[in-house]
Every structure is written in structure tokens, then in C-alpha cells.
């Protein structure tokens, strides 16, 4: 049984452990726990998925104005729990939490494109990215 909740105070340690257990650690600054803590603190909406004993198995972390636009910055599911619909449920719970928001955006990892299409997201060709050098 998986329980979904909004957890604005999710700890950086739990989030880091989930990133390590998912494929998202490859693309996040997991070696910089202070940055991870800032990422969580700057989030407007954090939706979690926990198993029957309360272990964190999934997170959808977003920034939003709660009126028009939401950007889902992180969607992570523990590898051991992938393929069970948890990622799609996290996205549905995110949408449910912001009923006035009309535009939901995210950037997909190359290997996850088909997942987002199956979840009902439309591929957009009008996106631009600026990466600041480290």
C-alpha cells in the first residue's frame, strides 16, 4: 500500500536517500547536501509517496505560483518500486493539489520520454534552456 501526501518539510536526508535509490541522482547535486536542502526549502509543493511502513519511495517536487503555472523539477521513484504507477500517481496528486493551475511543465530525462507521454503530457518543441557554468 502506498500513501501520498503533501510534505513541505521533507528532510534533505530522506530526499538524498531517495535520489540515490532512484535514477535521478545521476542528474542532481547529491554531493552537495546544502544545495539539496536549499532546493527543498525553495519548493512550493512537495508530494511524497510512502510505503506501508512509512519509507519514502517517491517524490514530486515543484515550484508554482498556484494560479497559472507549475514546474515539476523532480520526479523520483525508488528503483525497487518503479513500474507500479507511483510516478503517475505523484503527478496526479500534484495536479490535484493545484486546481487553478493550467500549465504544468517539466523537463524529461532522455530515457523517460515515453513515461511522460503515457502519463498524458504533451511533448513541446518550444522550450529553451540556459545552463550556468559551475
Alpha-carbon distance of 12 to 120, in angstroms, equals 30
> Both ends of the chain: CA-CA distance in Å?
41
Q: In this structure, is residue 134 part of a structural domain? A: no
* Number of structural domains found in the chain: 1
The CATH number of whichever domain residue 27 belongs to comes to 3.40.630.30
Alpha-carbon distance of 125 to 49, in angstroms, equals 31
Q: In this structure, is residue 79 part of a structural domain? A: yes
Measured between alpha carbons, how far is residue 20 from residues 25, 66, 79, 105, 131 in Å? Answer: 5, 30, 9, 24, 23
pLDDT on residue 134:
63
Q: In this structure, is residue 129 part of a structural domain? A: no
pLDDT on residue 116:
86
pLDDT on residue 3:
98
Q: In this structure, is residue 10 part of a structural domain? A: yes
Pairing of β 56-64 and β 3-6: unpaired
Q: In this structure, is residue 127 part of a structural domain? A: no
Q: What is the mean pLDDT of each run of 10 residues along the chain (134 residues)?
A: 97 96 89 94 98 97 96 95 95 96 88 84 84 74
Q: In this structure, is residue 133 part of a structural domain? A: no
Q: In this structure, is residue 29 part of a structural domain? A: yes
Q: 64 has which bridge partners?
A: 70
Q: In this structure, is residue 48 part of a structural domain? A: yes
Alpha-carbon distance of 114 to 74, in angstroms, equals 17
pTM, 2 dp: 0.91
The residue segments making up the domain with residue 32 are: 3-119
Asked whether the CA dihedral 23, 27, 30, 36 is positive or negative, the reply is negative
pLDDT on residue 130:
78
Phi, psi angle pair for 24, to nearest 5°: -75, -20
Amino acid at each position: 500500500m502506498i500513501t501520498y501526501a503533501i510534505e513541505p518539510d521533507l528532510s534533505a536526508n530522506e530526499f538524498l536517500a531517495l535520489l540515490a535509490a532512484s535514477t535521478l541522482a545521476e542528474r542532481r547535486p547529491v554531493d552537495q547536501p546544502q544545495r539539496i536542502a536549499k532546493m527543498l526549502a525553495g519548493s512550493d509543493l512537495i508530494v511524497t509517496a510512502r510505503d506501508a511502513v512509512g519509507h519514502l519511495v517517491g517524490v514530486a517536487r515543484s515550484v508554482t505560483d498556484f494560479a497559472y503555472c507549475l514546474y515539476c523539477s523532480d520526479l523520483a521513484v525508488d528503483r525497487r518500486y518503479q513500474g507500479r504507477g507511483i510516478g503517475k500517481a505523484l503527478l496526479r496528486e500534484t495536479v490535484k493539489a493545484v486546481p487553478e493551475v493550467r500549465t504544468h511543465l517539466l523537463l524529461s530525462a532522455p530515457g523517460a520520454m515515453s513515461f511522460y507521454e503515457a502519463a498524458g503530457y504533451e511533448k513541446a518543441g518550444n522550450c529553451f534552456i540556459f545552463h550556468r557554468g559551475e
